[in-house]
Structure 1
Amino acid sequence: MSVDHALPEPQDTVVLRPATTLVLGGDLGGTSTRIVIADHDGNVVGRGAAAGGNPTSHPASAAANFGQAIRQALTGLDPALALDPTTVKAAVIGAAGGSALSKPEVAAQFDAAWSGAGLVCTPRYIGDLEVAFASGTPEADGAVLIAGTGSAAGLVRDHRLVRTADGHGWLLGDDGSGFWLGREALRSLLRALDLGEPIGGLGEAVVQAVLPDRQEGGVAEREGYDLLRDDLIRTVNSRPPVLLAELARTVVAAYDQNDKTAHALVKRAAELLTETVSRLRTTSDNGPLVLAGSVAGESSPVGRLLRQSIRDHFHGEVLTAHDGVGGATWLALGALDPALATRDNHTRLVAPPA
């Protein structure tokens, strides 16, 4: 999971004694792969980054990027200081699309990247829900909701995911997600075209986003509506469906312009995400709920309405996820020794810079 917060930069380069025990955390996202190595006090001593590491979409290149980021992290913060891979004693890797690692041929490629970097401990691969929860709170129990391109919620007990809701993918679910917003914006436009009604500000913006080379201006003739409808349907169906999520930004921009349709879509998205959470939580639950992803972010209108809706329906703190790789590294400390999973270490590894 990738959430837009950077790890706090260390004040000084940490100089390690030869016998120092280290842990490794990883975040394999669709657009980036990030690795952090830390000592038992939660000090970052190495970090690496590479291109996307989602094992579902392109496993071979994802595994290669995984290995590249590991090797970079092992050079340490000081390029002259190479970390001994055998001193890494515990590792937790968060992976978007992590279920692909259950396939032997995919797992073999990631195992080769791991051992090729000289690492000998056995990494624990977990999903982005667990990573997001750990990045938002050091509590052992609670719930988490990710709403970005897709959407999913999870119930966490003793730092482990025990139940999920939604996360069914764009074809079957992901209600209230960026994909949902984009699809519903386009559907509302097509309904208006079918009825020969004005398409409004959001509709005009969707036309511009999907058909950027089309001449600007309203559509007045019924024949014109039919031609526009056909152009939209043909263009959208020629692209990967997930690209509809790009229209979420168009909805938000129209929302900021007080477009009526955009307001209705944003409100409905927040309601659907609240319903997803309600599949896992009851009104008596008082553990924290961690929100992650761009749609659920504090700067998003969906995120703002969602936070209010959650507070109206549930008890417990509503928190925002920080850097996923920091959460994974903190979980690795706990895997090494539960006594190391302290709040202080969590703050050092996860909290955004002031």
Structure 2
Amino acid sequence: MPASTLVLGGDLGGTSTRIVIADPEGNVVGRGAAAGGNPTSHPTTAAANFGQALHTALTGLDPARVGAAVIGAAGGSALAVPEVKAQFDAAWSGAGLATEAQFLGDLEVAFASGTPEPDGHVLISGTGSNAGLVVDHRLVRTAGGHGWLLGDEGSGFWLGREAVRSVLLAFDLEEPLGLLGESVLQALLPGHDSAIFAQRDGYEIVRNDVIRVVNNRPPVLLAELARTVVSSYEQGDKTAHALVKRAADLLIETVGRIRTTKDTTPLILAGSVAGEQSPVGRLLREAFHEQFEGEILTARDGVSGATWLALGALDPALANEANHTRLVS
């Protein structure tokens, strides 16, 4: 392996695309970023953003020096569609890169960003939710991750949907909404005046408005209401507290499908809902320590985890703890 050989790590997320170029000692020599690169949502735009981030990261560098590349992709299964893959391949070759890129799911990259250990479990809860078992740095089993229509229990989407459902239940019962309910209404119907409930058919009018607004938006946007749930939780709202606890319980149940209570390998938590500052994340950590053995760690920068995996793809000896610390910390 020539001393001038470089590796490339990438993270294609729903809101951002990030690329890192590093040398064999784990020193970052190039970075690039662009808007969302998730190949599922808008493949043409995502591929263009991917190309932009690649060009920026490679500024002043010879693309021929890149000897290995690992890219984590949320919605990476879309790359199995020939038309979508062709657009990403064009962006790759258009940046002057000749080595073959290895595309991995976001679970593997999240796990690698949290620990250099080869085996363990990872749980992601952000907009969606998913859990995986990693053996020798490779994903061998998953639980959850079925998308907003069929699953994503305990995720930001789930929190937002359940918050709206709690409002609709209050309408059915003609009960006071409480802090969370009022906050959800203000988010969905800005300028809403609660005095309408004193009118005849007031509940029905507002209920129909809520249903109309929610159904006229992309379903995934319900995840934006997760912030409303968290804010109401922090102000002591009982419904928000119940939703946060249920979200944590569902995520622990998801992990329990693929992890035994005696497993001592690390569990990596990733995503905003599972984060250390999130009330769901705090309850997750408490519940995990009560029900499972093993260390619980927080995922760091996903693109750094991908870059570390790229070092291992170039030479397994380079996937060491020192390089992991250098890249991820």
- TM tier, smaller: over 0.9
Task: Give the match for residue 73 of structure 1.
Answer: 57
Distance 1:217 1:306 in 2: 39
Distance 1:106 1:279 in 2: 32
Distance 2:52 2:186 in 1: 39
Task: Give the match for residue 8 of structure 1.
Answer: none
Is the aligned partner of 1:91 residue 2:75?
no
Q: Which SS does the other structure have where 2:149 is aligned? A: coil
Task: Give the match for residue 32 of structure 2.
Answer: 48
For 1:115, which of 89, 93, 98 is the aligned residue?
93
The list of structure 1 runs, each at least 4 consecutive aligned residues, that deviate by more than 6 angstroms after superposition, is none
Superposed CA deviations along residues 151-207 of structure 1, whole A, max 9, x for unmatched, are 000000000100000000111100010111111111111111101111111111111
Distance 1:127 1:308 in 2: 27
Measured after TM superposition, the shift of residue 90 of structure 1 is 0.4
Is the aligned partner of 1:290 residue 2:274?
no
Is the aligned partner of 1:135 residue 2:113?
yes
Task: Give the match for residue 247 of structure 2.
Answer: 269
Report 1:193-342 matches (<5 A). Answer: 193-217=171-195, 219-221=197-199, 223-342=201-320
Q: Which SS does the other structure have where 1:139 is aligned? A: coil
Distance 1:336 1:244 in 2: 41
Measured after TM superposition, the shift of residue 304 of structure 1 is 0.3
For 1:63, which of 24, 47, 57 is the aligned residue?
47
Q: Which SS does the other structure have where 1:170 is aligned? A: helix
Amino acid at match of 1:43: N
Over the aligned positions, Cα root-mean-square deviation in angstroms equals 1.1
Distance 2:205 2:275 in 1: 37
Give structure 1 stretches of 5+ with no counterpart. Answer: 1-17, 76-81
Superposed CA deviations along residues 102-132 of structure 1, whole A, max 9, x for unmatched, are 0111111111111111111111000000010
Measured after TM superposition, the shift of residue 218 of structure 1 is 7.3
Distance 1:198 1:222, change over 3 A: farther
Distance 1:300 1:269 in 2: 12
Give structure 2 stretches of 5+ with no counterpart. Answer: none
Distance 1:259 1:90 in 2: 50
Distance 1:190 1:259 in 2: 17
Distance 1:218 1:336 in 2: 65
CA contact (8 A) 1:94 1:325 kept: yes
TM-score (norm 2): 0.98
Distance 2:113 2:319 in 1: 12
Distance 2:95 2:38 in 1: 19
Measured after TM superposition, the shift of residue 141 of structure 1 is 0.2
Measured after TM superposition, the shift of residue 215 of structure 1 is 2.3
Q: Which SS does the other structure have where 1:174 is aligned? A: coil
Amino acid at match of 2:311: L
Measured after TM superposition, the shift of residue 222 of structure 1 is 5.5
Q: Which SS does the other structure have where 2:290 is aligned? A: helix
Is the aligned partner of 1:34 residue 2:12?
no
Distance 1:257 1:278 in 2: 31
Measured after TM superposition, the shift of residue 220 of structure 1 is 3.3
Superposed CA deviations along residues 17-37 of structure 1, whole A, max 9, x for unmatched, are x95110000001111111000
Distance 2:100 2:235 in 1: 52
Q: Which SS does the other structure have where 1:198 is aligned? A: coil
Measured after TM superposition, the shift of residue 51 of structure 1 is 1.2
Amino acid at match of 1:55: P
Which structure features the higher share of helix residues? Answer: 2
Measured after TM superposition, the shift of residue 349 of structure 1 is 0.6
Measured after TM superposition, the shift of residue 213 of structure 1 is 2.8
Task: Give the match for residue 191 of structure 1.
Answer: 169
Amino acid at match of 2:10: G
Task: Give the match for residue 151 of structure 2.
Answer: 173
Distance 2:196 2:172 in 1: 15
Task: Give the match for residue 78 of structure 1.
Answer: none
CA contact (8 A) 2:121 2:133 kept: yes
Distance 2:268 2:42 in 1: 29
Amino acid at match of 2:16: S
CA contact (8 A) 1:19 1:87 kept: no
**Paired positions, count:** 328
CA contact (8 A) 1:196 1:222 kept: no
